[in-house]
A and B are shown apart, each in its own frame.
Chain A
Amino acid sequence: MVNDSSTGEEKILTVAKIENGTVIDRIPPGKSLRVFEVLGIDSNYPYVVALAMRVPSVKMKVKDVVKIKGKALTSKEIQTLTFIAPHSTVNIIKNFKVINKTELTIPNKVEEIINCINPNCVTNAHEPVVSSFDIISKEPLVLRCVYCDRLLKGDTLQNQL
């Protein structure tokens, strides 16, 4: 797994390449456990998963990497990952080759994955609509509900994911 290092010590940690599946690379160091959490990776997870933490990286000094064999992430999972581990890359692997590489960048809008904090917001009632937020600041992260106009801070979003 650790392609950008070659010392003997790290080779011990190297995980084999996968034939098909997803590699989440350049995860901010320490965030991979949260990645496990939001993807629902636990003892019952049906796929082969490899995790490497604090791997030396040329660009980031250290990073975490997660490999999932035989699994493609859903768009909802990718949207959620964006907020847990921004700037990570999601690589889709087919026949040992990267066929698609996407950097996770904070979008201008987010839908469905979180609920509005306002109990009186129509998105929390039995209405045929899904939650929708404009991201009005990326650093620090601030969201505004398209429906009730209420502001949500980044940590509120983190707690819900």
Chain B
Amino acid sequence: MKGDLIQHLFTTRKLSKQDIENLFDLTKKIENNPDYYSEFCKGRILGNLFFEPSTRTRLSFESAMLRLGGKILGFTSSRDSSATKGESIADTIRMVNHYADIAVVRHYMEGVGEIAKQFATIPIISGGTGTQEHPTQALLDLYSLKKEFDKIDGLNIGFLGDLKYGRTIPSLLYSLIKYDNVKINLISPKTLRIRSNVENRLNDAKSDYLVTENLHEVLETLDALYVTRIQKERFLDPIDYERLKNSYKITPDTLQDVKDHFIILHPLPRVDEIHYDVDKLKYSRYFEQAKNGVWVRMALILKLLGVE
């Protein structure tokens, strides 16, 4: 990333395969020997600008910066809180330029990356923007895949659930299509298919993807299944929701004919789309997946600050 003129991270589209692999090499080193990096960010400050509340992502970034020996400041506000009412993202970024050395922005609006590009003088990382993208979640998911299979090339991956509003999905798809011979299976109800702009980019990359409503059409062929939550408020008709919710629920029964090395990933939090009984099976990886988030974010902070 450094040297590739990537100053901010709002979309995985702008990362090359080599950028991602370099990041993962560093992630691996950090994971193997975190103590070695414990003072790399001494004297540096990470600003957390959370215009939308988040526990997981915010804590993961805070943990990453603290483990690097840095300090953190910032705010979390709800959409209606007076702390952010009236103040533009541009002005907040212009302010944090002076308060921190690197910052994370999470926002319910989309297009924040372009504002960062125009107004930030320090590196800014997206902590998730609207339904657009969530690049660091995608990178940690990808790192989990890499750890499991030792490679990303050639994998056959299924995406299940809400592919339209789940903001990690586009980020994950944009990074996967940088790899060779990856097969993508998009399994969702018709109303929750990936957005046309995301599909447009898959087509531009000539990627190998299949769109289906039926999980069992592809399940036996998959190396990994990425499950996302289907939210009730996305449906106009609650009856539709009840019917679909159950048809995409993973239970031990669902997994009878999967490949031996098959794994299940989930960005968490889960509601009931994966039954608790699945947790005990050898296929579940979602709790280990969460652990990787801190390592990946540490590597990312180091890369963007150029303090490797």
Contact = CB atoms under 8 A, between A and B. Distances in A.
Nearest to B94: A128
A116 B111 CA distance: 11
Contacts of B108: 120
A146 interface: yes
B107 to A, nearest CB: 8
A146 B196 contact: no
Given A125-B109, A127-B88, A150 B197 contact: yes
Most buried by A among B86, B89, B131: B89
B196 A122 contact: no
A129 B109 contact: no
B60 interface: no
Contacts of A120: 108-110, 130-131
B110 A121 contact: yes
Contacts of B132: 148-149
Contacts of B109: 120-122, 125
Most buried by B among A120, A122, A146: A122
Interface residues of B, number: 21
Interface in B98-146: 108-115, 118, 130-132
B90 interface: yes
B115 A149 contact: no
A149 B88 contact: no
A135 to B, nearest CB: 13
Given A122-B89, A150-B197, A151-B196, A129 B115 contact: yes
B200 interface: yes
A89 interface: no
A118 interface: yes
A136 interface: yes
Q: Lowest 6 A-B CB distances belong to which pairs?
A: A147-B111, A148-B110, A122-B111, A148-B111, A151-B197, A147-B114
Interface of A: 116, 118, 120-123, 125-129, 136, 144-151
18 contacts: A118-B110, A120-B108, A120-B109, A121-B109, A121-B111, A122-B109, A126-B86, A127-B89, A127-B90, A128-B88, A129-B90, A144-B200, A146-B114, A147-B115, A148-B110, A148-B130, A149-B197, A150-B110
